[in-house]
Structure 1
Amino acid sequence: MARRRESFIDVLLVLPWWVSGALAVVSYLVLTYAAPAYFSLHPLSVGIGKGLSELTPLFCGLFIVLALGSFIRARFIARKFDQQRGLEDIRALPWRRFESIVGEAFRRRGYSAIENAVDGADGGVDLVLRKDGKKYFVQCKQWRKATVGVKPIRELFGVVSAQGAAGGIFVTSGVYTADASDFAATSGVELIDGPSLQEMIEESRSAEPYLEPTITNARATTTWSAGSAGPSCPRCGSSMVGRTAKRGANAGSRFWGCPKYPDCRGTKEIE
Structure 2
Amino acid sequence: MGRGRRSTLEDLAALPWPVGLTVGLLGYAGIRHGIPVVFARLDGPFAQAFAAQGDALAPIAWMVLAVCCIASLVAFVNARNRRRLLDTRTGLESLAAVGWREFEQLVGEAFRRQGYAVAETGLGGPDGDWRSKGSRRL
- Give TM-score scaled by structure 2 length: 0.69
Between the aligned residues of both structures, percent identity stands at 26
Which residue is 2:103 aligned to? 98
* Conserved 8 A contact 1:35-1:53: no
The 1:18–1:4 alpha-carbon spacing in structure 2 relative to 1, beyond 3 Å, is farther
Greater C-alpha radius of gyration: 1
C-alpha distance 16-66 of structure 1, shift in aligned 2 (>3 A): same
Greater share of strand? 1
Bigger relative contact order (CA 8 A; separation at least 6): 2
CA-to-partner distance for each residue in 1:148-175, whole Å, 9 max, x for gaps? Answer: 9xxx7xxxxxxxxxxxxxxxxxxxxxxx
TM-score, structure 1 normalization: 0.39
Partners of 1:99 and 1:140 within 8 A in 2: no
Which whole-Å CA distance do the structure 1 matches of 2:73 and 2:34 have between them?
Answer: 26
Number of the residue aligned with 1:109 = 114
**Alignment partner, residue 43 of structure 1:** 48
Q: Is the 8 A contact 1:77 1:100 kept in 2?
A: yes
The 1:93–1:147 alpha-carbon spacing in structure 2 relative to 1, beyond 3 Å, is closer
Q: Alpha-carbon deviations, 1:85-137, whole Å to 9, x = none? A: 32673574253x33322221210111122334xxxxxxxxx6xxxxxxxxxxx
User: Quick check: 2:24–2:64 contact (8 Å CA) kept in 1?
Assistant: yes
Q: Which one is further off, 2-11 or 98-107?
A: 2-11
Q: Hey, what does 1:32 align to over in structure 2?
A: 32
3-state DSSP class of the match of 2:118?
strand
How many matched pairs?
125
2:64 aligned to 56, 59, 62, which one? 59
- Relative to structure 1, is the Cα distance of residues 90 and 60 closer, same or farther in structure 2, using a 3 angstrom cutoff? farther
The structure with the largest helix share of the pair is 2
Query: Secondary structure of the equivalent of 1:73?
Result: helix
Name the SS of the counterpart of 1:113 in structure 2: coil
Tell me how large the CA RMSD over aligned residues is: 3.0
What whole-Å deviation, never above 9, does each CA across 1:220-240 have from its counterpart, x for those lacking one? Answer: xxxxxxxxxxxxxxxxxxxxx
| Structure 1 gap ranges (5+) | 117-125, 127-138, 153-271
Which residue of the partner structure matches residue 82 of structure 2? 77
Matched, 1:89 2:95: yes
Matched, 1:9 2:9: yes
